Chains A and B, each alone.
Chain A
Amino acid sequence: MNTKMNFKRGQKTIPESENMITRHRFLQLTLKASAATFFTLNFIGCHHSPEPPVHLKKLSDKNYENITIMGDFFINETPLQNFNIGQALDNYLYGTHHPHPIENMVLELVSIPSSMLAMLYIDHSFTPLAQMNKKERSEIFLKWRNSPSPLQRGIYTMMHALCMTLLSNEEQYTHYTRMTL
């Protein structure tokens, strides 16, 4: 099974043609670089965020709106009264003495709905989720859910996990599920 191998660090398992870069690879790299730049420069967003109706510890208004967009799909028709997923995220990241250990990764994920470049990279579309109506967004999420693209499926899975984690921290959720302790 394991023939002799002497990998050099960074060598890919699928070799690329020498001295050549395909157009697809070039586009992928360009978009990756742009997306990375965008994530670090949060202010380049293209959508004006309304004021959140709650006081936030540190979460930006834009990310409050972004997580609300995700919550609208993943936990719509929630039976929990007054559950505010934006406030839950703010508490999750900043409600303790020290921020969440993967704060930056969570914020990268949460920034996707308002990012045009992220949408371009993930979905080859110029329209950020934040600029779509609820029905259009649902169609995108459903497409990602069943997509042949591992990237789209993976982003869907991570968004799902984040929303469900925030939900499960709610005391009223334990009562709803009738879990007895």
Chain B
Amino acid sequence: MKNDTVLLEQIVTPEKHSFIRKKENLKGTIWKLQADAVVIGSGAGGSVAAAELSAHGWKVILIEEGSFFNSENFPEDEFHALSSMYRDGGVIFEEKGQASILQGRTLGGSTTINWQASLYPEDHVTNEWREKFGLSGFTQKENALFIKQVHERLNVHTVPESLRNENNNILFRGSQSLSVKPESLKNNSKGCIGLGRCGLGCPINAKQSTFLTYIPDAISKGATIITNMRATEIVDGKTKKVKAEFSPHRFKKTPSDIFEKLEISAQVVIVSAGAIESPALLLRSNLGNGLVGRHLKLHPTQTIFARFTREVKMYEGVPQSIVVKSPLPGINGHNFWIEAAPYRLSLATSLIPFFGKAQFETLKNYKNLQAGIVLARDGADGPVDSSVEWKFGRRRVHYQLSRSDAQNMLLGLKTLAEVQTAAGATELVFPFRRFTRPVSVKRGDDFSWILSESPDTFFAVGSAHPHGSIQASDDMAKGAIDGNFELYGHKNIFVMDASVFPTALGVNPQITTMSVIMNRARALASLNHRDSKKL
């Protein structure tokens, strides 16, 4: 295989349009291409699908809406990173401001800017997929081959204790003293030295994002990767057509000679734009049944910031190395986990729910603050009442935390407050609206009052794990795609990203998305490539 740097040079960025135009002797502003398969999106799903199909001899074109950032040009500060590498210029807001969602919009998608926690759901989740949605083959044992291959490619390993930072150590010490067993997390890095810049893109390429793994794999097998092209419409037919338009780099002057539009004809279309944009694309293309966009799961989070008398510097070191799982059985298999959050200043300032003087006083001596997050596995009361819709030319996200999910969240917040105070916190910033300043705390304080708070008292929930908005099922009354992830009613249009999960994962979704998509993409590739005319 060629050197990865050489392979990455083959990525078609806007600067190369002029060269291509001359080389191919192309006229006009519309670039027309043909392929066996077009993959829309380069994150955990799309890059894996592209690598699999290419490896089986398919001619693949992958388009990505965001720009190509790597260790040579990642933004230096948080503000520029959020503005240029995240969807909606930083945060996707739920239509009524009830949730804020972080999602990557760059080559590699969220794998370029995530915090690396590498997990796979427990079997009760994947058993639920089989029993209620007829989706089989995904228990830890059944999917072991694909999980193993993903782990090997991404160098997934347990974070060594020597790299555990103080933000995580506080959770470790606090939970140990409460007899709540903390566990070590795995992540996907190689040569990490704990710079703590994961959310801005790893400046030393230690994080094994897809732009360093599956995208070079796809290129080495002949795939074409085109950045800065946003898919606007999929036209169904015997030969499909994907229409895309130029999507500029916000901080860079657009070259004078670019293709403003792209049209790719292909026999197969793989939609991998993530759980927010994939349904939006299908809806504006009028494709799919009424379940496209329904039951979006967020794996919602709430944060408690804790002040310590010593420096924590939550933004330095490996972001996440400890998880504290709920000691309780949970509601219908839905539970909470506690992890650390390595917030930098911009996100923390938005999350601290105060205003005026109290806000400034809380953020003074920021390095003494620790952040713990509670993540609730949503859907305890049945299908999550949330959706993505395309209306009046705009994508809209709706999310409503159910009563039992909120109850899980409150239980998690109570446990987190106990853990943080057991570790020596002197003040806590609760995510409840009624507080206008931090609350002084000490070891042994009783936080039972948290359980009587209501969801209405929450500041907006956060999420970095949107999934399940085009859920799979072998019954089209329960899903928008079938067990092979093919869109009902539209042959050879597949969805291959985190949208496919029929119930909430309850874990950080990167590894699950990659291994589940690899499973189905390989089946598609090996079944059909020998006789592509059958497609």
Q: Which of A100, A141, A153, A177 contacts B366 (CB 8 A)?
A: A177
Asked if A37 is an interface residue, CB under 8 A from chain B, the answer is no
The closest CB in chain B to the CB of A177 belongs to: B366
In the bound assembly, the distance between CA atoms of A16 and B35 in angstroms comes to 47
Task: Note all chain B residues with C-beta closer than 8 A to A4.
Answer: 475, 477-478
Asked if A23 is an interface residue, CB under 8 A from chain B, the answer is no
Q: Which stretch of A45-53, A60-68, A125-133, A168-176 is in the interface? A: A168-176
The closest CB in chain B to the CB of A1 belongs to: B382
Asked if B19 is an interface residue, CB under 8 A from chain A, the answer is no
**Interface of chain A, main secondary structure:** loop
Do A154 and B460 touch across chains, with their CB atoms under 8 A apart? yes
Task: Note all chain B residues with C-beta closer than 8 A to A22.
Answer: none
Task: List residues of A (82-106) whose CB comes within 8 Å of B's CBs.
Answer: 96-98, 100-102, 105
In the bound assembly, the distance between CA atoms of A105 and B502 in angstroms comes to 31
Asked if B360 is an interface residue, CB under 8 A from chain A, the answer is yes
In the bound assembly, the distance between CA atoms of A153 and B100 in angstroms comes to 13
Asked if A42 is an interface residue, CB under 8 A from chain B, the answer is no
Do A160 and B382 touch across chains, with their CB atoms under 8 A apart? no
Asked if B308 is an interface residue, CB under 8 A from chain A, the answer is no
Do B459 and A157 touch across chains, with their CB atoms under 8 A apart? yes
Asked if B16 is an interface residue, CB under 8 A from chain A, the answer is no
In the bound assembly, the distance between CA atoms of A79 and B359 in angstroms comes to 11
Q: Give the total number of A-B pairs whose CB atoms are below 8 A apart.
A: 146
Asked if A81 is an interface residue, CB under 8 A from chain B, the answer is no
Do B360 and A79 touch across chains, with their CB atoms under 8 A apart? yes
Given A100-B83, A169-B79, check contact A75 B345 (CB 8 Å). no
Task: Note all chain A residues with C-beta closer than 8 A to B79.
Answer: 165, 168-169
Q: Which stretch of B346-354, B414-422, B527-535 is in the interface? A: B346-354
Task: Note all chain A residues with C-beta closer than 8 A to B31.
Answer: none
Q: Please, what's the 1-or-0 string for B84-114, where 1 marks a CB less than 8 Å from any CB in chain A? A: 0000111101111110100000000000000
Task: Note all chain B residues with C-beta closer than 8 A to A101.
Answer: 88-89, 250
| Residue from the set A96, A156, A180 with the largest chain B CB neighbour count within 10 Å | A96
Q: Please, what's the 1-or-0 string for B476-488, where 1 marks a CB less than 8 Å from any CB in chain A? A: 0110000000000
Task: List residues of B (294-321) whose CB comes within 8 Å of A's CBs.
Answer: 294, 313, 315
Task: Note all chain A residues with C-beta closer than 8 A to B313.
Answer: 180
Do B365 and A177 touch across chains, with their CB atoms under 8 A apart? yes
Do B366 and A161 touch across chains, with their CB atoms under 8 A apart? no
Do B345 and A77 touch across chains, with their CB atoms under 8 A apart? no
What are 8 contact pairs spanning A and B, CB under 8 A?
Answer: A2-B132, A2-B478, A2-B502, A8-B290, A9-B290, A74-B356, A105-B93, A169-B346
Given A73-B356, A77-B356, A148-B456, 11 more A-B residue pairs with CB atoms under 8 Å apart are A1-B132, A1-B379, A4-B478, A9-B292, A75-B359, A97-B250, A97-B252, A101-B88, A165-B79, A168-B346, A177-B365
